[in-house]
Chain A
Amino acid sequence: MKSEYNYGFLDEGSKREIRRSVLKAVAIPGYQVPFGSRELPIGRGWGTGGIQLTLSLIGPEDVLKVIDQGSDESVNAVNIKKFVALCTDVPTTIHTAEATIVQTRHRVPEVPMKNNQILVLQVPTPEPLRVIEPKEEVTKKMHAEKDYAGIWLQLYECLIRYGKVTIGAEYPCMVEGRYVMNPSPIPKFDNPKLNDAECLYLFGAGREKKIYAIPPHTQVIPLAFEDVPFEREDFSGRKCRLCGSEDTYLDEIFDAETGERYYQCSDTAYCKEVRARHESNH
């Protein structure tokens, strides 16, 4: 551990303030709590919201996993993992079940998380109303008055133009029947994992200076019209070319040389675990 830095890089006052914001966020599920986002040795927009949450919550007993688009090996994930390990000395892992804190961008791991785990999501645009209203003071009022007509209008516009809701990621959800929340750019496939979950979900937006949360066993319902039910991405008839999984979120890979399209698990650690299980069975 780099001893010239405080444990977890941030000073204790900053960590305490972030923890207080987390407590408020947990108390009001889906509500965006403003916080004093700190400077980090990483540019804003590169996961600083998630990192500040991780650094404020982490302790010597924790085990950390960091993923980016489902991968443990991407540059961003590796660098964040190295940075946190450098200033905390906590062990890191690629196995979801072993981790106590999982920091992620764009995916919720395939392995269901337990009540002793926290999933920290990096959020670029926390405000679900931002696409329809640019002013923060107006969106705050709209949340206060539960005025979400604009979001419903977007869903309806998709239906009129394309015959289906075409929003793939950042699909808006209603949290405990009160606040509409942006679940960060996770695919629609992961939205049902937020509902009535065992673990605590924390969302951090460093650039936008907002923290919000979904505590365990919170109702999180994707917005859908009465006559047009919510649908996840459909991978029926497809499976991972490496592990054979048919029930995971699959990335489509195109081989320019052969012109072939194939699919493999987006959650690389889960894919490895399944393959290891297959090998040990054989």
Chain B
Amino acid sequence: MNPITEQPVLKVSHLTVRYGSGCPCCGTSLEKNRCRKCGTVWAANDVSLEVYPGEILGIVGESGSGKSTLMKSLYFDLEPTEGTAYLRDYQDGAKDIWQASAAEKRRIRNCLMGMVYQNPLLGLRMEYSAAANIAEKIIAAGSRDAGAMTERAQDLLSAVEILTSRMAEAPKNFSGGMQQRVQISKALANNPSLLLLDEVTTGLDISVQAKVLDLIRKIKARYGISILLVSHDLAVIRMLADRTVVMLDGKIVESGLTDQVLEDPQHAYTQQLVHSML
């Protein structure tokens, strides 16, 4: 990987997400991420980052720091107030994905990106079978070949170590770890170039967390996919991320190679974060 010469898979510039009407001094007089005068919340404030081919970019920060806001904006779950995002596989990275039409956004969501939510209820149809959950993405991409969909579902479920004999079962009958693995296989259904993982191990017990993390590593090695990994757990970031971005109050306060950020933190918040690691 050579970040200088290679075209990034994802380039986000000046992403800002505001909740509130705003005022003339908004953004200059903030208490944490809230305007002192009008109360407008700056959930993401001038966030810029790039994800390169085959790398895992970790985003770390406390609750309310804007990590999930960034992910939701990228997956079109919420509309950013300002900013641009370019995806290498969408019009050769020449058009801002947030300016795409509704149909194009649907295609980007279903074919060019995959998302794994912290809460499987957001990412899976719990009443439908595991196979149908994967097929949903393939159908959305335009395929009408049921046999090919079933084959793909079998491949992906095997890849995430779920017995294919359980593919007709609904994820509501699965454990939390299995549900996350079905989400991952669903996200991979159309071979996207970018995977968004939003706190995928939160709420899982230690042994299941280890399995999911190991699976993410294997998936990266097998599919060569780029991953944007959000976590508040520095151990997860240390284990997986090539580069790390630290967010605080909606802003990026530090970024660099993961080892560099964790071994030699420059910002006071990052230092506090690293020192608070158990």
Residues of A in contact with B (beta carbons under 8 Å apart):
141, 145, 147, 149, 152-153, 156-157, 159-161, 225-228
Contacts and interface: CB of A to CB of B under 8 A. Distances in A.
Contact of B135 (A141, A147, A156, A228): A156
A160 B145 contact: no
A227 B146 contact: yes
Contacts of B125: 153
Contacts of A225: 144-146
B96 interface: no
A204 to B, nearest CB: 31
Contacts of B144: 152, 225-226
Given A145-B102, A145-B103, A226 B145 contact: yes
Interface in B104-144: 106, 125, 128-129, 131-132, 135-136, 139-140, 144
B145 A157 contact: no
Given A147-B106, A161-B129, A225-B145, A156 B139 contact: yes
Which range contains the number of B residues in contact with the other chain? 20 to 34
9 contacts: A141-B102, A145-B103, A153-B128, A153-B139, A156-B131, A156-B139, A157-B129, A160-B129, A225-B145
B103 A160 contact: no
A226 B148 CA distance: 10
A153 B146 contact: no
B150 interface: yes
Given A153-B128, A156-B135, A160-B167, A145 B106 contact: yes
B168 A160 contact: yes
A141 B149 CA distance: 26
Contacts of A152: 139, 144
Contact of A149 (B136, B167, B168): B136
Contacts of B136: 149, 153
B24 interface: no
A146 to B, nearest CB: 8
Nearest to A150: B136
- Minimum-distance CB pairs A-B, first 7: A225-B146, A149-B140, A157-B132, A152-B139, A149-B139, A160-B131, A227-B147
Contact of B128 (A141, A157, A159, A227): A157
A226 B136 CA distance: 16
A152 B139 CA distance: 7
A149 B146 CA distance: 13
A114 B136 CA distance: 41
B146 A228 contact: yes
A145 B147 CA distance: 26
Given A153-B128, A156-B131, A156-B139, 12 more contacts: A141-B102, A149-B139, A149-B140, A153-B132, A156-B132, A156-B149, A157-B129, A159-B150, A160-B129, A160-B150, A226-B144, A228-B146
A72 B140 CA distance: 44
B156 to A, nearest CB: 14
A161 B133 CA distance: 13
A161 B168 contact: yes
B275 to A, nearest CB: 48
B166 to A, nearest CB: 12
Contacts of A149: 136, 139-140
Given A141-B102, A225-B146, A160 B139 contact: no
Nearest to B105: A145
B231 to A, nearest CB: 31
Nearest to A223: B144
A141 B146 CA distance: 26
B210 to A, nearest CB: 31
Contacts of A161: 129, 168
Interface in B130-185: 131-132, 135-136, 139-140, 144-150, 167-168
B110 to A, nearest CB: 8
Contacts of A157: 128-129, 132
A162 to B, nearest CB: 9
Contacts of A145: 102-103, 106
Nearest to B148: A227
A93 B136 CA distance: 48
A76 B139 CA distance: 41
Contacts of A156: 131-132, 135, 139, 146, 149
A22 to B, nearest CB: 30
B90 to A, nearest CB: 18
Nearest to A161: B168
Question: Among the interface residues B125, B129, B131, B139, which one has the most CB atoms of the partner chain A within 10 A?
Answer: B139
A174 B1 CA distance: 48
Contact of A153 (B103, B135, B150): B135
Contacts of B132: 153, 156-157, 160
Contacts of B106: 145, 147
Contacts of A153: 125, 128, 132, 135-136, 139
